[in-house]
Structure 1
């Protein structure tokens, strides 16, 4: 072995550029001038060969969900949990009675229109055998900038999130811990 061979890199180089689709529990990343840690990864199966991943991100003083799906291109959105009663105190009763969510809802004086409803399964990565069946209704405001998601797990468990679309390039410095 010559002296110059010592400085040559191994054939197996370390990967340094990760994408949002490659995130795993424990990874860290920068978004919106904060550093976030991936605390959990959730896998969604919406049927018809449609899959998505959701990452629970924690920045210490703030928490959010990054939802990533591929449909000809990568579609990313960030979400924060909201109290479903802030949408409408009767939304749970209305949804149970009609077995469907309303076509329009109001949140913080803005009207949102239902753009999709999906039936699927959700499991935490690593626990795919223990999944929840859910129905998800997605709403969009008139300028297409804000989203509301209302999810029903089982018969009477409901949750709501408020979010918006983001671009993949808004996430940077993605590194494994």
Structure 2
């Protein structure tokens, strides 16, 4: 299966409690999960078939002792046979869910991923949330994003308000600079660049000692779906899948943190972001909720750092 179909398959076939765990695996791990799951899954139709043939559904589920007991009691005194007809869908669903959890646990060990520990009770859950937020975002100041730049070799991640650069055969001015500090310890920057009446956002994020660049353009929030605002307000998250301009987009990640307007040196606001990818994993739609009410939406795609050149501080020309 091609990598671009993985997220589509996972979100379509598994509940969010499982899909969120599967998405943490690398692409090879996701493919391995789907293969192992398909080999071990129990089919509801076959379970009913075995149930009608000598009442052997327990044997199909791998429950040998229960099967023997079922036979010895005359199919559960006949009543058990009828009851199992109605219980079968839930039994098979729980059985497959358990198999999926075991496969995920095995793959987490194989790929050396730490499984997310479930809190013992609601008090521990709340305490963990508070500790994480206060430890990661307690100072309410933007983190240091990149080392000081070499004036003879300025790169995209070194951009500042007032800088100039060449991109897509135009000369652009950096009009504003924004930073996101996420609760997981990562950070990224958005640079608003303008060339005449044109304005775009250049998103820069660290990636294995390098930087990934996304060209973002703002789109109308309601152009996606006018029900999204209600969903986010009442469920605190948008739907997992939506269609925009004839393409399906699948939720890839959810981020929580602080948003800073570095150009205005503000104190920062809480931000929550949801990122969606198309089936080819080339186009990105990001929905942001800043503070309690402000909703913003951007559409973008990855670009190479080599597309940017002649990056110069504005002071050279003043």
| TM, length-normalised to structure 2 | 0.50
Alignment of 1:76-115 (within 5 A): 76-115=213-252
RMSD across aligned positions (CA): 1.4
1:126 and 1:35, CA in 2 relative to 1: closer, same or farther beyond 3 A?
Answer: closer
Point out the structure with max Rg over C-alpha: 2
3-state secondary structure, aligned to 1:169:
helix
**Counterpart contact for 1:16–1:175, Cα < 8 Å:** no
- Structure 1: unaligned runs, 5 residues or longer: 1-13
How far apart are 1:154 and its partner, in Å?
Answer: 2.2
Aligned mates of 1:175, 1:61 — CA distance in 2: 21
State the aligned residue count.
164
1:138 maps to which of 275, 286, 291: 275
Structure 1 residues 2-35: Cα deviation after superposition (integer angstroms, max 9, x where no partner): xxxxxxxxxxxx8332100111111011111111
Aligned mates of 1:44, 1:33 — CA distance in 2: 29
Aligned to 1:171: 308
| TM, length-normalised to structure 1 | 0.88
How far apart are 1:129 and its partner, in Å?
Answer: 4.8
Which ranges of 4 or more aligned residues in structure 1 deviate by more than 6 Å? Answer: none
Aligned to 2:261: 124
- Structure 2: unaligned runs, 5 residues or longer: 1-149
**Counterpart contact for 1:138–1:149, Cα < 8 Å:** yes
Aligned to 1:63: 199
Larger relative contact order, structure 1 or 2 (CA cutoff 8 Å, min sep 6): 1
3-state secondary structure, aligned to 2:243:
strand
2:287 maps to which of 150, 154, 163: 150
Aligned mates of 2:230, 2:265 — CA distance in 1: 31
